[in-house]
Amino acid sequence: MKVGTEISKRFATNIFGTIAGFLGTVLFTRELGFDGIGIYAIFFSVQMVAANLVSFGLYPTLTKRVSEKKHEARQFTSGGLILLGGVAIVTVVSLGFRDQINKLVGVDAALLVPLGVLSWGLFRLSGSFLEGKQRVALVGAIENGRYALIVPIQAALIALGFGVLGLIWGLIAGQFLVFLISYVGFARVVPARPSIELFRDFIHYSKYAYVQSVTSQLFKQADYILLGQFVGPGAAGVYQNVFRITEASMLFSSALAQVTFPQFSALTEEGDDKRIADLLTSVFTYAGLFAVPMIGGGAVIGNSLLLTIYANSAGTFSLPVIGIVGTANALIPVLAVANLLNGYREGLEHFFLGTDRPRLYAASGALLIFVYALLSVPLTLLAGSWGVAWATVLAFGASVVSLLVFLDQQIPPSALKDVGSQFVSMVVMTTIVYGLKLRLGGAFGWFRITLLIGIGAMTYFVILLALNERIRIDAVNVIRDLCSEFLSS
């Protein structure tokens, strides 16, 4: 498998999914307001946190074991049994704490949480199996394409007058459809009875992956729950829209982590240390490729972008020293930094997990949970959505530092140079965009926003390619491989 080509294909599917999800968020925010989309965001977060708390790390474990080509059908069955056990736990908890969950979400939806967990878990189960078979781009197309199914169902239910509950039911129905497409259309694995030995081996390994499954939900999902509890659904709705914008910055790092994980595992089985080192270097070089420009760009045009989309400002926020700025202008750069750190964290964690060092992988996740638990509530009470965003940044930063301490390979100076060239390109881009914004008299309006984003993106990548030979060569090679693959298909 050509890693650069596979990452590019997964990246393309990530873009498709993000655009579909963002358009859905825009449509439903206009229909239901920031409060309505905030209620839906809180329900989705409850679903995701519950799903990962009771999954016991089965998804990365299944990918790992299948990538090793060991008892694939039996491993799939082990994962399925764990999923069903987790859904049973969620059902009991949802029944026991029905009133509290409904109060947190804002609508009577507690009994829908188990259905959401089951539908999401099923398509993740089949997707993890396909990732283990190194069909990562296909999984990306399926997982990101789910929005193309979910959003139309949700839109139809809202048109029929179901309101926020229509969004929730549309989510559940769409996730079930995605599972059917993934399993029946591609995975087609016939479950096989797992032996007690295999099941124990699965559980033994998944306990390390479990920590990562929990920590992955501290970014975005736990944020919404805290905002819903302490600030309100309106703030969660604004945060949802801002996150949808910043989500674009993590598309490439997510594709990079998803593709490299089974590769690290397969190369470890082969004992190919050189290719492992080269792949690790790529993680450092490319994890922040799109998050870095979002830091400067979001600070300049963030609030104007939300105002243009909704004709409704996200409000203002008072920052120390800087003073009053738009809420989106304050949030987007912070969430972009969180995305940047999350990209490095995912890449490093998948390196440790793929190279059979799950304890280090789990330790960094435990540290992340500790720091987030320590800071999230005080910072949310102090500064609302901006505070919870900073809690995420600090937790991710602590995790990345711990992973770097445990790393037994020296980070190549060339990779540090690559990261430096990205920041230089971002500073130049931000200066040009800010100057043009002043020249135009602001960034509000579709023409101005489109012009500024287009010029900013072009400036960033032109300067980056001019400064960095490695990225320039890699880009040419990937384009050549993609063209060759397209022409031969």
pLDDT tens for 92-138 read 999 999 999 999 999 999 999 999 999 999 999 999 898 888 787 68
Mean pLDDT value across residues 405-420: 85
Express as a percent the part of the chain with pLDDT over 90.
Answer: 36
pLDDT band at 1 (very low <50, low <70, confident <90, very high): very low
pLDDT tens for 467-486 read 988 888 877 776 776 566 55
Contact predicate 281/416, CB 8 Å: no
Evaluate if residue 257 carries a pLDDT over 80.
no
Give the lowest-confidence range in 155-164, 455-464, 475-484.
475-484
pLDDT band at 276 (very low <50, low <70, confident <90, very high): confident
Give the chain's mean pLDDT. 84
Which residue, among 372, 45, 42, 465, has the nearest Cα to 237 in the 3D structure? Answer: 42
In whole angstroms, what is the distance from residue 15 CA to residue 363 CA? Answer: 32
CB-CB neighbours of 367 under 10 Å: 18
pLDDT tens for 164-202 read 999 999 999 999 999 999 999 888 888 888 767 667 776
Contact residues for 475 (Cβ-Cβ < 8 A; gap 6+): 465
Evaluate if residue 489 carries a pLDDT over 70.
no
pLDDT band at 2 (very low <50, low <70, confident <90, very high): low
CB-CB neighbours of 485 under 10 Å: 12
Express as a percent the part of the chain with pLDDT over 70.
Answer: 87
In whole angstroms, what is the distance from residue 127 CA to residue 179 CA? Answer: 8
In whole angstroms, what is the distance from residue 176 CA to residue 304 CA? Answer: 37
The three state secondary structure string of the chain is CCHHHHHHHHHHHHHHHHHHHHHHHHHHHHHHHHHHHHHHHHHHHHHHHHHHHCCCCHHHHHHHHHHCCCCHHHHHHHHHHHHHHHHHHHHHHHHHCHHHHHHHHCCCCHHHHHHHHHHHHHHHHHHHHHHHCCCHHHHHHHHHHHHHHHHHHHHHHHHCCCHHHHHHHHHHHHHHHHHHHHHHHHHCCCCCCCCHHHHHHHHHHHHHHHHHHHHCCCCCHHHHHHHHHHCCHHHHHHHHHHHHHHHHHHHHHHHHHHHHHHHHHHHHHHCCHHHHHHHHHHHHHHCCCCHHHHHHHHHHHHHHHHHHHHCCCCCEEEECCCEEEEHHHHHHHHHHHHHHHHHHHHHHHHHHHHCCCHHHHHHHHHHHHHHHHHHHHHHHHHHHHHHHHHHHHHHHHHHHHHHHHHCCCCCCHHHHHHHHHHHHHHHHHHHHHHHHHHHHCCCCCHHHHHHHHHHHHHHHHHHHHHHCHHHHHHHHHHHHHHHHHHHHC
